[in-house]
Amino acid sequence: MIDNWSDVLPAVMVRSTQTNEAARCAVLLPVLSRLEGPLSLIEAGASAGLCLYPDRYSYRYDVGGRAAALDPDTGPSSVVIPCRIDGAALPTQLPDVVWRAGADLFPLDVTDQEQMEWLDALVWPEHEERRRRLHGAARIAAAEPAHLVRGDLITTIPELIDQAPDGSTVVVFHSAVLVYLQPEDRQRLVELMRAFPRVVWISNEGAGVLPAVTDQVRKPINGRTIVSVNGRARGLAGPHGQSYESL
Ligand SMILES: C[S@@+](CC[C@H](N)C(=O)[O-])C[C@H]1O[C@@H](n2cnc3c(N)ncnc32)[C@H](O)[C@@H]1O
C-alpha cells in the first residue's frame, strides 16, 4: 500500500506523453518549397525532430484526383507521405536544407531504442501507417542527427537562431505545440518572432491557439490546423498532415 504518492510519482513519471508526426512535413512544404534557400530549419517543440527532414521524405499529393509525386534528388524515400492539396499550393520542389535544429522540454533521441519504443507506444494501436512512418523517419533522422536541445522554446529559440549558419534563410517553425503553452507565453513567442524580422516564422497550430491568426480565417476550419507565415494565415491543414487547403 502506498501512503504517499508524491514519493513515488517522480520515479514513475520519467516520460511525458509525446507524439512526433513526420507527415506534417507535407503541409509545411507549400511554404518551405517557395522560400529562397539554402534553409536552416529550427523547430520549436521538436520532440524527436522528425519534422526537420522535409527534404528527405517522398510525397504523393492528390490534387483533386490527379497524382503529383515529389521525391528527393536521390530517388524515392523509404518514407512516403500522402496528402490532399489544392493546385495553388502544390509544392514543385524540395527545399535545400543545410542545418537542422530544434528545442523541446523533453527532446527524444532517435538513436535510443527505448525512447523510440516510447514514441511507438503512444501511436494508437490501429494506426499502422503512422507507426511505419515513425520507424522509417526515425531511421532517416538517425543517419543525420539534428541538433536538438532541451529547454523551453522561449529561451532556446533565440540561441538556436544565433547558431544558424551565415548565408542561409533561417526558418523557425512549430506544429501542434503552442496549445501546451499558457496564452501569455504564446504571446511572448509572437513578440519574440517579431524581434527577428529576417527569420521566417511558420506556425501550424489549432484554431484559437493564436487568436490573431484564427481571426483571419473565413473558411470553416473543421478541426484542421492553421498554417501561418509571419503571422499571416496561409492554409488549413489536416491535423496529421493529411490535407492542405490554401486560404
Ligand atoms: C504534440 S508534440 C508535437 C511534436 C512535433 N512538433 C510534431 O509536429 O510532431 C508537442 C511537443 O511540444 C513540446 N513542448 C511543449 N511545450 C513546450 C515548451 N514550452 N518548450 C519546448 N517544447 C515544448 C512537447 O514536449 C512535445 O514534444
Q: What is the pLDDT, as a whole number, of residue 124?
A: 84
Whether the per-residue pLDDT at 3 is higher than 90: the answer is no
Establish if 1 belongs to a structural domain: no
Which residue's C-alpha comes closest to atom 18 of ligand 1? 152
Establish if 220 belongs to a structural domain: no
Pocket of ligand 1 (CB under 6 A): 16, 18-21, 24, 45, 47, 51, 103-106, 152-153, 175-177, 180-181
Establish if 5 belongs to a structural domain: no
Q: How many domains does the chain have?
A: 1
pLDDT in tens, 112-170: 888 898 888 888 888 888 999 999 999 999 999 999 999 999 999 999 999 999 999 99
Distance CA 1, CA 205 (A): 43
Establish if 171 belongs to a structural domain: yes
Whether the per-residue pLDDT at 11 is higher than 60: the answer is no
Whether the per-residue pLDDT at 39 is higher than 90: the answer is yes
Which residue's C-alpha comes closest to atom 27 of ligand 1? 47
Establish if 43 belongs to a structural domain: yes
| Enclosing domain of residue 21 | 15-201
> pLDDT grade, residue 23 (50/70/90)?
very high
Establish if 235 belongs to a structural domain: no
Q: What is the pLDDT, as a whole number, of residue 126?
A: 87
Whether the per-residue pLDDT at 99 is higher than 50: the answer is yes
Span 160-186, average pLDDT: 97
The Cβ of residue 125 has, within 10 Å, a number of other Cβ atoms equal to: 7
Whether the per-residue pLDDT at 1 is higher than 50: the answer is no
Give the residue, out of 47, 81, 120, 186, with the most ligand 1 atoms within 8 A of its beta carbon, to mutate for a pocket test.
47
The set of cell numbers assigned to 205 is 497550430
CA of 245 to the centre of ligand 1 (A): 24
Contact criterion met (CB below 8 Å) for 236 and 207: no
Establish if 9 belongs to a structural domain: no
Which residue's C-alpha comes closest to atom 10 of ligand 1? 177
Establish if 232 belongs to a structural domain: no
Q: What is the pLDDT, as a whole number, of residue 14?
A: 61
For the chain, how many residues are written? 247
Q: Which ligand 1 atom is the nearest neighbour of the CA of 174?
A: 6
pTM, 2 dp: 0.93
Burial of 13 (0-12, 13-18, 19+ CB in 10 A): exposed
CA of 17 to the centre of ligand 1 (A): 10
CA of 165 to the centre of ligand 1 (A): 24
Contact criterion met (CB below 8 Å) for 21 and 51: yes
